[in-house]
Amino acid sequence: MFSKNIIQKLKDIGLTGKGGAGFPVWQKWQAVKNAKEKNKYIICNASEGEPMVFKDRYILENYPEEVINGIKIALEAFSDNSDVAAYIYLNPAYYQQFKEKLTTLIADLPITLFEKPHSYIAGEETSLLNVIEGKGAEPRLKPPYPTEAGLWGKPTLIQNVETLYWVNKIAKNEYKGNRFYCIAGEVKSPGVFELPETYTIEQILRATANYQPQTTNYFYQVGGGAVGTIMLPNELNQPIKGTASIIIYNKEKTDPWGLMRTWAEFFVKNNCDKCTPCREGLYRIFEIISQGKETLRQAQGKLYEIFAALEKTSFCPLGRMAAVPFKSALEKLL
């Protein structure tokens, strides 16, 4: 049904994963295809859980057939000498919203819908493997990587919703180098927009009628609603790295301390408590910020020590990335 040389197409086009890491898609596919194991798995990660990020929800709402076709392509690519099954791993809200439609679309296919727990860390690629296996939502040590030893120790391809959407487009020769951008906050036209991947942040805002002429009154969180970095108006002439989200804040309406406290609450609530740096470090950040603006200003030295510990010693990406929004906010907003 689909192109037999899909992996070569993915390589030629240079598609990278749209879940945030930006890893070359073809390398994951090739690793799973080359594996000698009899059983292999595919997981569509629809665990999207950062505040004010809703790109995958938009795709599932408007293009579910394309996402399922992307999974079908992977099933066919790996089925030569193996038994292959797939999961669609949905956060609780998406599971309830899309269960009926997706159940109809997958029909007789070897695809299972799986409801993610109410936990942000349960969306991390090795943590979701544990969840599906009936274990706790904790990340695994890498290597081995999921492509080598994933679900039940078998080679597993994990791709997010948007990546599988573009795989479908590439197989049909309809890919034009675009991606989806999620825009929220103090804007005229919030939503999800398909635009060239090479666009700068300013070009994206202009193309969506969300560019503010009086740019000095605003600041931006780019790359996620929790782990995204804070950017100022003079930094918009660059493309987005990681999660393609832009959240716009009005300086006059936004208290930086309150914003940082929101992030701190999110991280304390959503880390898995597995490793000491993350468990203790995130709680200490929350504790310092919760004591108020003056304490926050006075404790910046201590905060940077905690940030360094998180970045260097955390077990998984959540802890290593958690310092990003705080550091950028302290440097640019206070």
Rg (CA), the chain: 20
pLDDT reading at 11 higher than 80: yes
Span 61-88, average pLDDT: 95
According to DSSP, the residues that pair with 42 across neighbouring strands are 86, 157
Domains, the chain, ranges and CATH?
6-171 (3.40.50.11540), 178-250 (3.10.20.600), 256-332 (1.20.1440.230)
- Tokens 């595919």 found at: 42
Looking only at the bridges linking them, the beta strands covering 229-231 and 218-222 are antiparallel
- Please state, in angstroms and rounded to a whole number, the distance separating the CA atoms of residues 35 and 15: 21
- Please state, in angstroms and rounded to a whole number, the distance separating the CA atoms of residues 332 and 230: 8
Q: Tell me the pLDDT band of 297, cut-offs 50, 70 and 90.
A: confident
Q: Report the 10 Å Cβ neighbour count for 177.
A: 12
Mean pLDDT rounded to a whole number for the chain: 93
The pLDDT score that the predictor gives to residue 214 is: 63
Q: Report the 10 Å Cβ neighbour count for 108.
A: 5
Quote the distance between the C-alpha of residue 248 and its chain's center. 19
Amino acid at 18: K
Question: Comparing 124-138, 150-164, 208-222, 319-333, which segment has the lowest mean pLDDT?
Answer: 208-222
Q: What is the pLDDT of residues 83-113, one digit of tens each?
A: 999 999 999 999 999 999 999 999 999 999 9
pLDDT reading at 158 higher than 60: yes
Copy the structure tokens of residue 167: 């795989």
Looking only at the bridges linking them, the beta strands covering 245-250 and 218-222 are antiparallel
pTM of the shown model: 0.94
Q: Tell me the pLDDT band of 270, cut-offs 50, 70 and 90.
A: confident
- Please state, in angstroms and rounded to a whole number, the distance separating the CA atoms of residues 192 and 57: 10
pLDDT reading at 1 higher than 60: no
Which span out of 38-47, 114-123, 133-142, 291-300 was modeled with the highest average pLDDT?
Answer: 38-47
Amino acid at 219: F
CA-nearest of 9, 11, 12, 18 to 179 is 18
Copy the structure tokens of residue 37: 């194991």
Residue 174, class by beta-carbon neighbours within 10 Å (0-12 exposed, 13-18 middle, 19+ buried)? exposed
- Please state, in angstroms and rounded to a whole number, the distance separating the CA atoms of residues 137 and 9: 35
